[in-house]
Amino acid sequence: ARGVVVVLCPRSNDALGVGRAPVVELREAGVRLCIGTDSLASVPTLDLWDDVLALHRAFPSLEPEWLVRAATRAGAEALGFDDLGRIAPGARAGFAFFEGPPSLREPFAFLFSGEAHPKGVGA
């Protein structure tokens, strides 16, 4: 269906026992996907990064770059905000700050290790 966007909330799906969304099949079909949170009624926090990590654990074949985009730009696009979710001239960038070890060489490996959690946000 043209214009349809599916918001993936993997922690809520797990908590409610409704199964996992067919993410790979949806991507292959060209459905627009983004990652979101649901409600404190079904998950202990509304930390979007926890849902990103849950999706990564459930679907390890998903590329880290795709997961980051699904949690940022894709959500902004789904809501019709063309000036959010990206770093570009004229856009309103938002940032999440992560603290990593000084010897960090592989940022995506660190981000998806389960050890990285945002230390702050800014705009």
- Count: domains in the chain: 1
Average pLDDT over residues 38-49: 91
Q: Which domain holds residue 25?
A: 5-122
pLDDT at 94 over 80: no
The angle at the Cα of 88, spanning 66 to 65, to the nearest 5 degrees, equals 10
Whole-angstrom distance, CA of residue 80 vs CA of residue 90:
16
pTM for this entry: 0.81
What CATH number is associated with residue 14?
3.20.20.140
pLDDT at 1 over 60: no
Q: 52-75 pLDDT, tens per residue?
A: 999 999 999 999 999 999 998 999
